[in-house]
Amino acid sequence: MATPSVKPVLLSRNQIDKLKALQEQELRKSPLGLAPSIHVIARQIMDRALNMPKEA
């Protein structure tokens, strides 16, 4: 079985800025002063988008 070729996904500066804003929100909400990484936030958003019910 051939190994699939997977390349990194590049984000625009605007998208990264929005992810950083989400990270800052999480940091402010955390009683321990911790926030998920930008990569974790992006993966969570992608998972939610891919798991949304499809319209007929």
Rounded CA-CA distance 2/28 in Å is 45
The per-residue pLDDT for range 14-24, each reduced to its tens digit, is: 999 999 999 99
pLDDT in tens, 12-50: 999 999 999 999 999 999 999 999 999 999 999 999 999
Looking at residue 1, its pLDDT comes to 67
* Angstrom distance (rounded) from CA 28 to CA 54: 34
Sign (positive/negative) of CA torsion 39, 40, 43, 48? Answer: negative
